[in-house]
Structure 1
Amino acid sequence: HRKLATQPAELHAALADVRATITASTGVPLAPFAITVDDSLGDSEAALAIGATPVAWLAVTDVATLRAQLPTVLAPIVPDLLDVDRVAELVDRTAAHAPLLVREVVPRIVTMPVLTELLRALVREEIPIEDLAAILDAIALAPAPAGGFTARDVPAIVEHLRGQLRRQISARFAPRGRLAVYTIDGMIEDAVRSAIDHRDGGTVLALEPAIAQDIVAAVRSRLGAGGGVILASGDVRRHLRSLLEPELPGVAILAAHELAPGTAVTTAGRIEVA
């Protein structure tokens, strides 16, 4: 870390560049980064803070290594860095060019905390939220209960939003109009579908541990740890995602109706449980 401390200009530029890159790709307006390098840390250690909150510790020796590591370190925590104040910034910016839309949706249909949870869920699955007007427009089209949506409604609203955000999803996963996917065996989908338990106005996946482990192992054996895209039926998509995310966070689960018309889909392989 002593070398980092002697490169303040390069360090500042690297942090600003990473911050701008993440904001551009996710739409999340991150607070400024800070790197702590002092004698309380090891010779090759640095602490990363965003705002006043320490978020990660890195093993680095120079600015170039830090610059290369930061995107990977930050990717899993970016959704959690999207708080109500940051969402309020996005809403205010959107209100400047779409005041009627904002007035109709926030907080009449979704309160700021519920909107924050919705946006976190989208970012968690790598869907950029920069075009908040499109997201608010999709929320306005959803059949809302009297009094608006609550936190309990978030998973169902997210699925509705994904269907309305085909352009954004396709731009993220099929930027040139072509997408290679892994299909999933019908027996796996049936097992997930039959384990969806409806309770307390929502749904949870009550899959037997042995079956869950077999499915995760089957996906890992085909896609490896690096990730890929699985095409699944819309009614099991989010439940399959919740099953895989803890161990295979890099695997994206899409449904056919979430892709823009004209997307050329090819099959890279099929996932089956042996």
Structure 2
Amino acid sequence: MQLGDIVMAVIAIGIVIMMIIPPPSFLLDFLLTFNITLALVILLISMNMEKPLDFSIFPSLLLITTLLRLSLNISSTRLILINGYAGKVIESFGNFVVKGNPLVGFIIFIIIEIIQFMVITKGAERVAEVAARFTLDAMPGKQMSIDADLNAGVISESEARSRRQEIQREADFYGAMDGASKFVKGDAIAGIIITVINIIGGFITGMVFQGLEFTEALNRYTLLTVGDGLISQIPALLISTATGIVVTKSASSGHLGKDIIKQFTAYPKLLLLSSAALGLFAIVPGLPFVPFMVLAGTLGYAGMSLQKASDREKQKIEQLQKEKELDEMKKPENIYSLLQVDPIEVEFGYNIIPLADANQGGDLLDRVVMIRRQCALDLGIVVPMIRLRDNIQLKPNEYVIKIKGVEVARYELRTDSYMIMNPTGGPIEIDGIETREPAFGLPAMWISDDKKEIAEMKGYTVVDASSVLATHLTEVVKQNAHELLGRQEVKNLLDNLKEQYPALVEDIVPKMLTIGEIQKVLSNLLRENIPIRDLVTILETLGDYAALTRDTDMLTEYVRQRLKKVITERFIPSKIAQVITLDSQIEDMILDSIRQNEHGSYVALDPVMIQKIRNSFIKTVNDLHAKGISPIILTSPMIRIYFKKIIEDYISFVPVLSYNELEPEVEVQSVGMVTLK
């Protein structure tokens, strides 16, 4: 056996011997003093431990201290009844603590017993019972969490074993505390019974065997019994308090004193409020002025000191944060963050801010969400997040739309007015400020709020400033959709499609075409306002023709021909096409000038001839627009893409279609021809 085991065995044997053999009074004095000291040490340890398992011997120690107190009670009772004297400690407690008054001592003893039994012991017992129950119920979940971390590689096998052992120890500890708390409860009950027995037994012993008077016997033995009860129940009260602290320690992870100071001083403003309340109590007539005012001053001083310290700490933290951010900015690798460009930005002057502020009734943010949904439904693309920011360098009512950091549109709103347009194209017969609608360039006018009803009665289209901005932004996004569709966006679209059509995607990417090649085809379609929502048809077409050519322009033409229903529905919804055709001489000239190289095909026409074709085309389109006709260019399939490249930088809004891209039921009406004459 180890030395510690021998010592504990001797102590246990000595406790049992004391119940049989009465110790001398001087030894009893020492043991009673040791009992108080031991209880005080246990209380201090329980207050300063960090977690309950740091004091895992407490359940066993609780049993030993309870047995020690009962043994000392038996020994002191024997000495009191036999000799009428049980040592200096008990007599001192009986005379000094209660001033020799047995009634006062008895009342104090009863109060201590009530506090210990009804408040501390009962509460500690309930907490221990609940803690044990919840700890046992939580064990399976904790075990599963450890197994999950082990399987995921977060922890090692040895760490998992250590955590399992800790969970088992925790369950054993709370289970033991649940049982050990019953000892404290029984000890309190036993203390009351022993005290009553001592008073009755001492009274009989004094009168019958020692011949004392009734009053003298009652005073002497009651005084000694109460002193004995106090000297034994004070340590019991300390250990009961320690029991309550141990079983409630799970809610905190530090020392009790440190936690109390930290949490009480965490709210200096509340201390100042309490100080003000105490100051009011101090000036209320009839209440004692000095104690309330002293406490008010103490709390006020503490609150102000803590508030100043808190402010200094915040300033110190902010300064350290600024220094840290400055150091981070100085690092070369953080320059890369400055290279990031937002795909879409809308910058606006300060008068437009209320349109984007929901707190001021602005709905621009909601409209941005709807723009992204509309583009997804109309074009089949997921528009990136649109960044809104104010810019003090702009005019108060001005906004700028940027694509990848480059300005593509600018307009000046009147946030306090309404824009009206005549749907018939005629003049607007209401006084206002003339302007142009930014999205389509139509004639428009700004009118004040009081003229809104008049404009609606005359059949004009009336829109508010937020709608003007949202419509303009929508059109800009659609016109630049091909620039917003990068390879990462295409990969996201393919990943989403792969969930429902895995065979299709895996068969084409990357076996037949790369993501970059597919992105070029999709961008070509979006550039000419053709939606890519039907990705299944697009990929199937690419799969059919990728073995014949890797030229993305030619692949685009094959996809367009497969999407003839979509193209017809989009550009010729009425099934009547008013078209401009090309003179056969121009078509033959373009067809003969097509050349091939390693990068694809191109038109090798003389620049003078290209300019003549452009001039004839522009003149024909303008003449038709003057007549109110919005034509479509119709060419043969072989030259469609090349003619589009010739004229797209001049009039990009006119669709260029081939015969193979029209449904059979479309009625074609020729309204003009591009010639070289």
TM-score between the two structures when normalised by the length of structure 1: 0.88
Q: Report the 3-state secondary structure (helix = DSSP H, G, I; strand = E; otherwise coil) of the residue aligned with 2:655.
A: strand
For residue 96 of structure 1, what is the aligned residue in structure 2? 499
Deviates more, 1:216-225 or 1:126-135: 216-225
Q: 1:129 to 1:212 in 2, by over 3 A?
A: same
For residue 640 of structure 2, what is the aligned residue in structure 1? 237
For residue 26 of structure 1, what is the aligned residue in structure 2? 379
Output the CA distance in 2 between the equivalents of 1:248 and 1:56: 17
For residue 112 of structure 1, what is the aligned residue in structure 2? 515
1:80 paired to 2:521: no
Deviates more, 1:120-129 or 1:88-97: 88-97
For residue 267 of structure 1, what is the aligned residue in structure 2? 670
Deviations 1:192-247, CA, capped at 9 Å, x for gaps? 12222223363211111111111111111111397631110111111101101111
Q: Report the 3-state secondary structure (helix = DSSP H, G, I; strand = E; otherwise coil) of the residue aligned with 1:175.
A: coil
CA contact (8 A) 1:237 1:255 kept: yes
Deviates more, 1:226-235 or 1:244-253: 226-235
Q: Report the 3-state secondary structure (helix = DSSP H, G, I; strand = E; otherwise coil) of the residue aligned with 2:394.
A: coil
Output the CA distance in 1 between the equivalents of 2:566 and 2:387: 31
For residue 169 of structure 1, what is the aligned residue in structure 2? 567
Structure 1 residue aligned with 2:577, among 172, 179, 194?
A: 179
For residue 144 of structure 1, what is the aligned residue in structure 2? 547
CA contact (8 A) 2:524 2:556 kept: yes
CA contact (8 A) 1:33 1:49 kept: no
For residue 353 of structure 2, what is the aligned residue in structure 1? 5
2:484 partner amino acid: L
How far off its partner does 1:30 sit?
Answer: 0.6
Q: Which runs of 5+ in 1 are unaligned?
A: none
Q: Report the 3-state secondary structure (helix = DSSP H, G, I; strand = E; otherwise coil) of the residue aligned with 1:223.
A: helix
CA contact (8 A) 2:512 2:546 kept: no
Output the CA distance in 2 between the equivalents of 1:75 and 1:115: 19
Q: 1:66 to 1:209 in 2, by over 3 A?
A: same
CA contact (8 A) 1:87 1:112 kept: yes
Q: 1:235 to 1:245 in 2, by over 3 A?
A: same
1:172 partner amino acid: R
1:6 partner amino acid: P
Output the CA distance in 2 between the equivalents of 1:37 and 1:255: 45
Output the CA distance in 1 between the equivalents of 2:530 and 2:485: 14
Q: Flag the structure with higher helix content.
A: 2
Output the CA distance in 2 between the equivalents of 1:65 and 1:139: 39
Output the CA distance in 2 between the equivalents of 1:85 and 1:143: 21
1:60 paired to 2:458: no
For residue 524 of structure 2, what is the aligned residue in structure 1? 121
Q: 1:271 to 1:75 in 2, by over 3 A?
A: same
Output the CA distance in 2 between the equivalents of 1:265 and 1:95: 40
For residue 342 of structure 2, what is the aligned residue in structure 1? none
**Structure with max Cα Rg:** 2
CA contact (8 A) 1:170 1:177 kept: yes
Structure 1 residue aligned with 2:533, among 130, 135, 138?
A: 130
Output the CA distance in 1 between the equivalents of 2:498 and 2:573: 29
1:113 partner amino acid: G
Output the CA distance in 2 between the equivalents of 1:163 and 1:220: 26
Output the CA distance in 1 between the equivalents of 2:398 and 2:409: 7
CA contact (8 A) 2:632 2:657 kept: yes
Deviations 1:56-105, CA, capped at 9 Å, x for gaps? 45223242331232234334321010011211221122212211111111
For residue 36 of structure 1, what is the aligned residue in structure 2? 389
CA contact (8 A) 2:402 2:409 kept: no
- RMSD, aligned CA: 2.3
How far off its partner does 1:39 sit?
Answer: 0.8
Deviates more, 1:12-21 or 1:157-166: 12-21
For residue 253 of structure 1, what is the aligned residue in structure 2? 656
Q: Report the 3-state secondary structure (helix = DSSP H, G, I; strand = E; otherwise coil) of the residue aligned with 2:673.
A: strand
Output the CA distance in 2 between the equivalents of 1:144 and 1:89: 25
CA contact (8 A) 2:561 2:660 kept: yes
How far off its partner does 1:182 sit?
Answer: 1.2
1:85 partner amino acid: Q
TM-score between the two structures when normalised by the length of structure 2: 0.38
How far off its partner does 1:143 sit?
Answer: 4.8
Output the CA distance in 2 between the equivalents of 1:228 and 1:255: 14
CA contact (8 A) 1:18 1:71 kept: yes
Structure 2 residue aligned with 1:219, among 606, 617, 623?
A: 617
CA contact (8 A) 1:34 1:49 kept: no
Deviates more, 1:11-20 or 1:94-103: 11-20
Q: 1:55 to 1:111 in 2, by over 3 A?
A: farther
Output the CA distance in 2 between the equivalents of 1:206 and 1:54: 32
CA contact (8 A) 1:231 1:254 kept: yes
How far off its partner does 1:114 sit?
Answer: 1.0
